[in-house]
Amino acid sequence: MSFSLPADPPTARSLTAIVPQLLASLSDAGDWFVSARSAILVLVDGLGRGNLTARAGHARFLTAAMTKKDAARSTFPSTTATALTGLLTATDAGTHGIVGYRARIPGTDIAPNQLKGWETDGLDPMTWQRAQPLLEREANAGRPTFVVSKGLYRDSGFTRAIQRGAEFVGAATPAERLTAAARASANPGALVYVYIPELDTLGHAHGWESERWLRGLEELDADLRRFEAMLSPGVGALVTADHGMVDVPAHRHVLLRDGDPLLHDVALVAGEPRMLQLYTTDGSAAAVAARWREAEQSRSWVMTREEAIDAGLFGPHVHPDVRDRIGDVLVAARTAVAYYDDRVADKKPQRMIGQHGSWTDQERIVPLIRLGAFANG
């Protein structure tokens, strides 16, 4: 193998194991959590453990509740579409098939946005995402299951792909969502999933080191403090995230333009700025990977699809239907850089400051913060 990634510790906990462990706690059989009457999973998009620790003084409630062992590793790529699918199906990308932010439909030159492409590019929520959602499985077995999120997500393709089966509760603000979740947890044996994307939105627009992000963190910390006080006895809640965030200022952007040797034999650029997926012309993957390694190995990990699969980055098994969705060459940033295809007319993505998607600890390590009944063990 001609590339090397830092390995996860053998005792590292995986984001994909969280929901099975929560369900085990409802059956008195959990390894991570004590027994609970109902369980609430609060997913704060973009709240990496490193981001939270660095701003501990602005989130005193959350950091006081977080112990050193309470962390998990997110998926690869460390991007919302892949991570949330892994979280809510308990499978890796090689099984569920959501292999990145933008990934090619095999046999085409189309690389849909995996969060929004269901509506714009005709992805079928029942088949493109290949694993059964745990919420659907549990609802079919008679468990009360709830998704509490922004109302605009109620009928989205991504919601149907990974959250179908649960009762959807729409609420506008994080505080309202947390209140609705506490109310839903009154159903014995309930599993409640709460999605809070606001902090991620602030991070993308302003950076996680900005004053705007800090204010958002302070507000969320206060909301979660009030939320814990609402929990009935025996109800456990877990606060976690799908990924962390790295700020990449404009002067650290790598702009790929016409004539750039790095684009030679590259038919399609997809993925996202910190985890490019390059789809090459036939037979050219090794040559493309070699060019990228020579130019970028000091600041990025470069690997072929086969190397990534052999390393288990997409899980221990990659289904044949999923294999060709993965880029022929992957470029995962390890320093504060972001790659953009500057030939694309829409330059709005280049205004994004907070970013994620790669293998760094800052992007992949997320907190596991226990509240309510779970705080007891």
Which helix (H) or strand (E) covers residue 292, if one does? helix 285-296
Q: Which tokens is 322 given?
A: 């999923």
- What's the mean pLDDT in 296-325? 97
How confident is residue 28, by pLDDT bands cut at 50, 70 and 90? confident
| Residue ranges of domains in the chain | 15-246+360-374, 250-355
Residue 291 confidence (pLDDT) above 90: yes
Strands (E), 61-179: 71-73, 145-149, 167-170
Residue 1 confidence (pLDDT) above 70: no
Residue 183 confidence (pLDDT) above 50: yes
How confident is residue 5, by pLDDT bands cut at 50, 70 and 90? confident
How confident is residue 30, by pLDDT bands cut at 50, 70 and 90? confident
Q: Which tokens is 188 given?
A: 């014995």
Model pLDDT, residue 347: 92
Q: What CATH number is given for 15-246+360-374 in this structure?
A: 3.40.720.10
3-class SS at 62? Answer: helix
Burial of 355 per CB tally in 10 Å (0-12, 13-18, 19+): buried
Residue 304 confidence (pLDDT) above 70: yes
Model pLDDT, residue 239: 98
Model pLDDT, residue 2: 58
Q: Which of 124, 150, 146 is nearest to 136 (CA)?
A: 146
Residue 231 confidence (pLDDT) above 60: yes
Residue 329 confidence (pLDDT) above 90: yes
pTM: 0.97
Which helix (H) or strand (E) covers residue 330, if one does? strand 329-333
Query: How does the average pLDDT of the chain come out, rounded?
Result: 96
Please report, for residues 90, 144, 238, the alpha-carbon distance to residue 102 in angstroms, rounded to integers and kept in the order given. Answer: 21, 33, 29
Do 287 and 305 meet the contact criterion of CB atoms below 8 Å apart? Answer: no
Burial of 28 per CB tally in 10 Å (0-12, 13-18, 19+): exposed
How confident is residue 309, by pLDDT bands cut at 50, 70 and 90? very high
3-class SS at 163? Answer: helix
Residues forming a β-bridge with 39: 191, 236
- What's the mean pLDDT in 210-224? 98
CA distance 347 to 350: 6
Model pLDDT, residue 4: 78
- Across 116-125, 168-177, 234-243, 325-334, least confident range: 116-125
* Largest CA-CA distance found in the chain, in angstroms, rounded: 64
What is the DSSP annotation of 5-25? -PPPPTTPPBGGGHHHHHHHH
CA distance 144 to 34: 20
Burial of 107 per CB tally in 10 Å (0-12, 13-18, 19+): exposed
Domain 250-355, what fold? Gyrase A; domain 2 (3.30.1360)
